[in-house]
Every structure is written in structure tokens, then in C-alpha cells.
Amino acid sequence: MKLRIQDNSLRLRLTRKEVACLRDERRVASAIRFSATRVLTYSVMSSPDANVIAVDYDRDVIIVVLPLRLAEEWAENSDEITIEGLDSGVQILVEKDFQCLHGPGKPDSEAFPNPLG
């Protein structure tokens, strides 16, 4: 899962495998270790109790919560790319990660096929 933070915008890009994990297990998570004692964990989860898209940040953990029905529909619909919401002034984007059309290296087999290429 890729994480991008810019100003008051939080963007998470998920591979096909991660989208399937969100659909099947209702949660996908990643982390970056800064030191032996400092780890930033970020996750997307779906909940039947959620009515709106929400984000929480506490003790080096970022959690984006999606309504279960919305997450299931997004995971099953190959044409739907982005889930977008706003919580406490933070714009939240959860997106399917597409293969790059340019640049070095081989295509990422876990990324979604790019609709432009």
C-alpha cells in the first residue's frame, strides 16, 4: 500500500492483492520503521458499523475506516477507481494502484492495469 500525505490530503493506493484483502478480511495495513522504537502504521479497514468515511490518528497509527457496503462495492467494481471522503478537514482518497506507463523497471504485476495504456 502506498501512502501519500500532502497538506490536508491523505491518499492510499492499494494493489489488486490489497483490495482483495480489504474485501475478504476487511483490513489491509502497512508500516514504516523509523527506528527500533518508532513505527508509523497505516491501514484501511471496512466496518458494518461505519456510516461515513473516517480517519483517525493516534500514537503513530493512521486508520481509515470505510463503510462495509461501500468498500465491498468498490472492490468488486473494476471501473470504480477512487473512494473519496472528508473527515475533520482531511480529504481522504483510497484508490486502486495502477501500473506506471513510463519509467524504468518492469510492470508491477500486483498493480491494476492502467486504463490509459
Domain range list for the chain? 2-96
Pairwise CA distance, residues 117 & 111, whole Å = 13
Task: Tell me the pLDDT band of 98, cut-offs 50, 70 and 90.
Answer: confident
Task: Tell me the pLDDT band of 109, cut-offs 50, 70 and 90.
Answer: low
The average pLDDT across 41-64 equals 97
Query: Cell numbers 493506493 correspond to what residue?
Result: 13
Q: Give rounded-to-5 percent helix, strand, coil for the chain.
A: 15, 45, 40
Pairwise CA distance, residues 8 & 113, whole Å = 29
Task: Write down the pTM of the prediction.
Answer: 0.83
Instruction: Just give the CATH number of 2-96.
Output: 3.30.1360
For residue 77, is pLDDT > 90?
no
